[in-house]
Amino acid sequence: MDSATSDPPPGAPEQHLPPSVARSVKVLVVGAFGVGKTTFIRSVSEIAPLSTEERITTASVGVDPDVPSKSTTTVAMDFGRITVTEDIALYLFGTPGQRRFWDLWAGLAEGAVGALVMVDTRDLEPSFEVLDQLELRTRVPFAIVVNRFPGSPDHPLERVREALDVLPETPVVSCDVRDASSAVQALVTLVEHAMARASEPVPA
Amino acid sequence: MDVGKSSQKYRDHPVRSYVLTSGRAHPSRNTLRPETLLLAADPPRLPPSVDRHQRELVRLCRGTLALAEVAAHLGLPVSLVTVLVSDLVDAGHLTIRSNHQSHLLPGRDTLEKVLDGLRNL
């Protein structure tokens, strides 16, 4: 199978979870192509990131001018995992969050702890669609992760928040996705946000 | 037509996938998610009717793995592996290790544990 990404090495041996792990939770890492999703996952994952592919068909017609009608294309989902406690494994699923891919991952958002929305301050435009999809189609809590690309303008986070027009309680954090502790900190922020959301009364 | 020979050359995934799942596009259970943890039944007793992919799937699951990991190692789409897993669970060859209701949001207790775990990494 041809792959849209260069890693993982095909045929990498499987690494089983410890027998004590009996529960899994997941976090989505969403964002446009090239925004650093896989790098983020690689930084925190205890296994080399894995990839699976799905085919999508004509759902893209009229949505994406780059994809001609009646086409099929493959979309890769990169993922990794962290055994966070002796009985819980956290999976990180990296997926393009644009509308044309969303149906494919229908089961993916369901039951997720939350989503990290990776943004590139040099090109915020694709982030709007990702945020729209998350807000319209899911109830998962999310946090914005501003990937500090080398050479990207150093926007104050408040400016990014304003530009993206997210709710005041939505965390906006800066992250060096190549750095494990920086990436873990982004996950901590998301889970804290998810806990705050979980204690809110359910809106009628 | 020499089916064996032509299938060697056959690269068209949608049709091939359809054959692998005996023509079904949907699994017999809808609780399977990419993060669902799987473990082979002990001991695995696979009848001869079980095909190569299912056999390899059960072999991969001699230790706990998530469905997405199994799909990645098999080089097959998650949607297809979900159907294969569903059949193997129905037949008793595979067990679902994570038995929580995966469609529900994780509860506060779980989130707290995850948070502690992340902070201690």
- CB-CB neighbors (< 8 A) of A12 in chain B: 73
pTM of the model: 0.84
Residue B15, classified by CB atoms within 10 Å of its CB into exposed (0-12), middle (13-18) or buried (19+), is exposed
At position A103, the amino acid (one-letter code) is D
**Predicted pLDDT at A193:** 97
CATH superfamily of A23-198: P-loop containing nucleotide triphosphate hydrolases (3.40.50.300)
Do A20 and A87 touch, CB atoms closer than 8 A? Answer: yes
Question: Inter-chain contact A111–B63, Cβ cutoff 8 Å?
Answer: no
**Which member of B14, B103, B114 has the closest CB to residue A84?**
B114
Query: In terms of Cα–Cα distance, which of A193, A169, A116 is closest to A147?
Result: A116
Which H, E and C letters describe chain A, residue by residue?
CCCCCCCCCCCCCCCCECCCCCEEEEEEEECCCCCCHHHHHHHHCCCCCEEEEEEECHHHCCCCCCCCCCCCEEEEEEEEEEECCCCEEEEEEEECCCHHHHHHHHHHHCCCCEEEEEEECCECHHHHHHHHHHHHHCCCCEEEEEECCCCCCCCCHHHHHHHHCCCCCCCEEEECCCCHHHHHHHHHHHHHHHHHHHCCCCCC
- Residues of B at the A interface, defined by Cβ within 8 angstroms: 13-14, 33-37, 60, 62-66, 68-69, 71-73, 75-79, 97-100, 102-108, 110-119, 121
Q: Chain centroid to CA A21: how far?
A: 23
Chain B partners within 8 Å of A24 (Cβ)? 35-37, 66, 98
Residues of A in Cβ contact (< 8 Å) with B59 = none
Query: Are B97 and A21 a contacting pair at CB < 8 A?
Result: yes
Residues of A in contact with B98 (CB under 8 A): 22-24
Of the candidates B33, B77, B114, which has its C-beta nearest A52's C-beta?
Answer: B77
- Domain segments of chain B as ranges: 3-119
The pLDDT, as a whole number, for residue B11 is 47
| Shortest Cα–Cα distance, A65 to chain B (Å) | 24
Q: For position B28, what pLDDT does the model report?
A: 64
Helix (H) or strand (E) holding B39: strand B37-40
| Rounded average pLDDT over B81-110 | 85
> How does pLDDT run across B55-78, given as a tens digit for each residue?
999 999 999 999 999 999 999 999
For residues A70-106, b (16+ Cβ closer than 10 Å) or e, as one string?
eeeeebbbbbbbbbbbeebbbbbbbbbbbbbbbebbe
CA atoms of A190 and A186, how far apart (whole Å): 6
- Nearest 10 degrees: CA dihedral of A42, B35, A28, A194? -120
Compute the nearest-CA separation of A19 from chain B (Å): 7
Residue B105 pLDDT grade (very low, low, confident, very high; cuts 50, 70, 90): confident
| Separation CA A178–CA A43 (nearest Å) | 6
Beta-carbon separation of A84 and B110 below 8 A: no
Residues A188, A82: contact at Cβ < 8 Å?
no
Q: Tell me, what's the pLDDT at A60?
A: 45
A70 token code pair: 């009646």
The ipTM of this complex is 0.85
- Could you list the pLDDT tens digit for every one of the 204 residues in chain A? 333 444 445 557 889 999 999 999 999 999 988 889 999 999 999 999 999 988 776 444 455 555 555 567 778 899 999 999 999 999 999 988 777 777 776 668 888 999 999 999 888 888 998 898 888 888 899 999 998 877 777 778 999 999 999 999 999 999 999 999 999 999 999 999 999 988 876 665
